[in-house]
């Protein structure tokens, strides 16, 4: 259940970050309001996940998967093409998430 709650937190973090881009530096009201609401929901669910997951593990998954999903939004929605170093960096983040989930005893499997 903790991972389901963390997944909700990640989804809302990605929505908030996407709306941050759409807010055009807080000059558009509705994307800015949506961004604030999405971040509030994200932090609420992240705090709930912390009842069952260690802080370092939860935050690594929240931020790591958020980065990966946000990159996908950047590519497909905002047409931002990453260069090779960006792709390598994101691949390393993904590898870290896989190692934490697959092999760490701290992840609370």
Euclidean distance between CA atoms 60 and 79, whole angstroms? 27
Under a CB-based contact definition with an 8 Å cutoff, are residues 103 and 57 in contact?
A: no
Pick from 23, 13, 36, 21: nearest CA to 76: 21
Tens of each residue's pLDDT in the chain, 109 residues: 999 999 999 999 999 999 999 999 999 999 999 999 999 999 999 999 999 999 988 998 999 999 999 999 999 999 999 999 999 999 999 998 888 878 887 765 5
Euclidean distance between CA atoms 69 and 90, whole angstroms? 10
pTM: 0.87
How buried is residue 77: exposed, middle or buried, by Cβ count under 10 Å (0-12/13-18/19+)?
exposed
Euclidean distance between CA atoms 9 and 88, whole angstroms? 25
């Amino acid at each position: 259940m903790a991972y389901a709650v963390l997944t909700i937190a990640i989804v809302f973090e990605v929505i908030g970050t996407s709306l941050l881009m759409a807010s055009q530096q807080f000059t558009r009201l509705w994307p800015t309001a949506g961004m604030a609401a999405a971040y509030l929901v994200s932090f609420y669910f992240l705090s709930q996940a912390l009842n069952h997951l260690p802080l370092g593990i939860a935050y690594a998954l929240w931020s790591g998967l958020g980065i990966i999903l946000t990159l996908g939004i950047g590519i497909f929605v905002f047409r931002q093409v990453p260069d090779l170093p960006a792709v390598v960096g994101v691949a390393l983040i993904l590898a870290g998430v896989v190692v934490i989930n697959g092999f760490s005893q701290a992840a609370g499997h």
